[in-house]
């Protein structure tokens, strides 16, 4: 038993499932609390005056009057990859766009070349170092997308690394299959044929081996069309994989409408989303997974978070960590950007990186809020209130991280 005493402010959303509209900002802010942990689970939360004496043998941890929140959940990353892409930045600064670099065989395809060459062991070792650092930054669960293999064996190699991370690392990993992340060089100019390969060979193997829970597609101008994306996501659904979609990152070609039509769990990016796209997400009950650090790094506009909230679309916020459009896994920085550029309130932001992120990973029953019966994934912050967390940037404000009831 662990008893966490002297919590200055316990800030947490309450309940399960995604919170939309005004509910996104309705969280519990309780001062002077004590939290009891039994094994991996929270078993009691009390105001200090009403807290029973700690049971004999309990480990008492003093939270020093600081802020405590649920552990952060990064619900969109691409964290298993070989190499880096630092050589792209000068091209970008000379005016080349993200899609132009991809069309020249660079971008995602550059990382595909490097990832194919790296051994499973090397990919694993480096991903572990990323996750160690993410944990220090307060992230206790992370989604991880494949998509740098783009062939059956290479996608399975990447998914195997993700499975090993799942089995060995304190950060819980949720796997998403993103075989349709780009058209591989062997299929250049034949995106329909690659779509067919994904549907007929790769996806069935991924489903059969239970390699991923979700299926994602990069639905974008010059990458996968809406009709190709529909085929892939529908095939995934038939095989038991829930849908996610990279939609409206650069151009609004109908990805959000497709997300609504298919009842995707989340539509991700949405920088260029149209009013019709927003309505489709609201009608389909789709979570908007927004990635402000990608807007920052691509020098693009910020997704219309306020409008999404106004129209009752639940908003989650994630890092999008990848070697091209966002070489940072610092979710605290994404929080700062959401505060300043999405104009979200600290309360809405907390919901976005905990409860709504959990919902977008089908993990609402277990994580995302601090309530009796939920997993004891939490962060003690070097801050007294949520506003400070959103305001300070560039340094790590984490004091202590608990994962499944243990200090990590
Ligand atoms: O979410 N846009 C597609 N995928 C990633 C970028 C991947 C990469 O550039 O390596 C994204 O931005
Ligand atoms: Fe992404």
Beta carbons of 47 and 33 less than 8 angstroms apart: yes
Q: 322 CA distance to ligand 1 centroid (A)?
A: 6
Entry pTM? 0.98
- 347, 356, 357, 361, 400 from 149: Cα distances, Å: 38, 29, 26, 23, 36
Architecture of the domain whose range is 2-70+368-407: Roll (2.30)
Nearest to 273 by CA among 249, 309, 241: 249
Residue nearest to atom 12 of ligand 1 (CA): 325
Q: Please count the CA atoms within 13 angstroms of the CA of 166 that sit on its side-chain side.
A: 17
Residue nearest to atom 6 of ligand 1 (CA): 325
Q: Where are the domains of the chain?
A: 2-70+368-407, 72-359
- State both tokens at 358: 């959990």
The DSSP-derived string for 267-327 is EEE-TT--HHHHHHHHHHT-EEEE-HHHHHHHT-PPP-HHHHHHTT--EEE-----SSS--
Q: Which fold has domain 72-359?
A: TIM Barrel (3.20.20)
Kindly tell me the burial class for residue 147, based on how many C-beta atoms sit within 10 Å of its own C-beta (0-12, 13-18, 19 or more): buried
Residue nearest to atom 3 of ligand 1 (CA): 218
- State both tokens at 1: 């038993």
Beta carbons of 225 and 247 less than 8 angstroms apart: no
Beta carbons of 71 and 138 less than 8 angstroms apart: yes
- 143, 162, 210 from 175: Cα distances, Å: 6, 7, 10
Q: Whose atoms come closest to the Cα of 181: which ligand?
A: 1
* Atom number of ligand 1 nearest to Cα 220: 2
Mind spelling out the 3-state secondary structure of 104-161? CCCCHHHHHHHHHHCCHHHHHHHHHHHHHHHHHCCEEEEEEECCCCCCHHHHHHHHHH
Kindly tell me the burial class for residue 381, based on how many C-beta atoms sit within 10 Å of its own C-beta (0-12, 13-18, 19 or more): buried
* Atom number of ligand 1 nearest to Cα 178: 4
Match 């075989």 to its residue by tokens: 179
Alpha-helical (H) ranges within 328-398 are 331-341, 346-353, 355-359, 386-391
* 90 vs 9: CA distance, rounded Å: 45
Query: Is the CB of 13 inside a 6 Å radius of any atom of ligand 1?
Result: no
Q: Near ion ligand 2, which residues have CB within 5 Å?
A: 320
Strands 378-381 and 398-403, sheet pairing = antiparallel
2-70+368-407 matches 72-359 in fold: no
Nearest to 82 by CA among 194, 157, 176: 157
Q: 6 CA distance to ligand 2 centroid (A)?
A: 39
Which of 255, 303, 325 most suits a substitution to test ligand 1, by most atoms within 8 Å of the C-beta? 325
* Atom number of ligand 1 nearest to Cα 98: 9
* 257 vs 245: CA distance, rounded Å: 11
Q: What is the pLDDT along the chain (408 residues), one digit of tens a residue?
A: 999 999 999 999 999 999 999 999 999 999 999 999 999 999 999 999 999 999 999 999 999 999 999 999 999 999 999 999 999 999 999 999 999 999 888 999 999 999 999 999 999 999 999 999 999 999 999 999 999 999 999 999 999 999 999 999 999 999 999 999 999 999 999 999 999 999 999 999 999 999 999 999 999 999 999 999 999 999 999 999 999 999 999 999 999 999 999 999 999 999 999 999 999 999 999 999 999 999 999 999 999 999 999 999 999 999 999 999 999 999 999 999 999 999 999 999 999 999 999 999 999 999 999 999 999 999 999 999 999 999 999 999 999 999 999 999
């Amino acid at each position: 038993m662990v008893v966490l005493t002297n919590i200055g402010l316990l800030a947490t959303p309450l309940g399960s499932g995604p919170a939309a509209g005004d509910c996104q900002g309705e969280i519990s802010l309780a001062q002077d609390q004590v939290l009891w942990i039994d094994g991996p689970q929270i078993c009691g939360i009390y105001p200090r005056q009403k807290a029973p004496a700690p049971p004999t043998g309990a480990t008492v941890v003093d939270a020093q009057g600081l802020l405590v929140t649920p552990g952060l959940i990064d619900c969109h990353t691409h964290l298993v990859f070989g190499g880096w892409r630092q050589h792209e930045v000068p091209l970008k600064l000379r005016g080349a766009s993200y899609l132009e670099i991809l069309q020249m065989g660079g971008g995602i395809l550059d990382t595909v070349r490097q990832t194919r060459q790296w051994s499973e062991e090397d990919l694993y070792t480096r991903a572990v170092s990323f996750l160690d650092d993410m944990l220090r930054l307060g992230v206790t669960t992370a989604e991880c997308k494949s998509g740098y293999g783009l062939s059956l064996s290479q996608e399975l190699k990447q998914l195997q690394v993700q499975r090993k991370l799942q089995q060995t690392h304190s950060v819980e990993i949720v796997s998403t299959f993103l075989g349709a992340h780009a058209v591989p060089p062997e299929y250049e100019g034949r995106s329909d044929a690659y779509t067919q390969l994904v549907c007929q060979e790769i996806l069935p193997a991924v489903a059969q081996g239970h390699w991923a829970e979700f299926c994602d597609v990069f639905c974008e101008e010059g990458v996968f069309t809406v009709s190709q994306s529909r085929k892939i996501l529908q095939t995934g659904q038939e095989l038991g994989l829930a849908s996610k979609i990279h939609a409206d990152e650069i151009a609004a070609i109908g990805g959000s409408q497709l997300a609504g039509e298919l009842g995707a769990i989340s539509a991700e990016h949405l920088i260029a989303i149209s009013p019709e796209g927003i309505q489709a997400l609201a009608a389909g009950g789709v979570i908007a997974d927004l990635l402000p650090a990608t807007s920052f790094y691509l020098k693009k506009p910020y997704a219309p978070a306020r409008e999404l909230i106004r129209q009752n679309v639940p908003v989650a916020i994630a890092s999008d960590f990848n070697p091209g459009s966002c070489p940072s896994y610092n979710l605290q920085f994404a929080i700062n950007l959401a505060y300043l550029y999405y104009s979200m309130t600290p309360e809405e932001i907390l919901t976005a990186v905990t409860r709504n992120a959990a919902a977008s990973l089908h993990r609402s029953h277990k994580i995302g809020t601090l309530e009796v019966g939920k997993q004891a994934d939490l962060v003690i912050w070097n801050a007294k209130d949520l506003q400070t967390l959103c305001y300070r940037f560039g340094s790590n404000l984490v004091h202590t991280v608990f994962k499944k009831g243990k200090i990590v």
